[in-house]
Structure 1
Amino acid sequence: MEYVWHLRAKMAERGMFATTDLQPLLAERGISLSREQTYRLVTRKPQRLSLTILVALCDILECTPNDLVEPQIVEVSSRKVAGEADAAAERRPITGRRTTINRPGHAR
Structure 2
Amino acid sequence: MADLDYGWRLREVMAERGMSSTTELRPLLAARGVDLSPSQVYRLVVGKPERLSLRTLMALLDILDCAMDDLIESPPARTVRRTGK
1:9-61: CA deviation from partner (whole Å, max 9, x where unpaired): 00001110110010000011010000000000000000000000000000000
Indicate conservation of the 8 Å contact 1:20/1:35, yes or no: yes
Whether 2:16 is the aligned partner of 1:13: answer: yes
Whether 2:41 is the aligned partner of 1:45: answer: no
* Pairwise CA distance, 1:74: 8.3
- TM (norm. structure 1) is 0.66
For structure 1, list consecutive stretches of 5 or more residues without a partner in the other structure: 76-108
* Pairwise CA distance, 1:73: 5.1
Aligned residues: 75
Runs of 4+ displaced beyond 3 Å: none
Indicate conservation of the 8 Å contact 1:3/1:69, yes or no: yes
C-alpha distance in 2 between matches for 1:56 and 1:13: 17
Structure number with larger C-alpha Rg: 1
Question: What SS does the aligned partner of 2:74 have?
Answer: strand
- Structure with higher RCO (Cα < 8 A, 6+ apart): 2
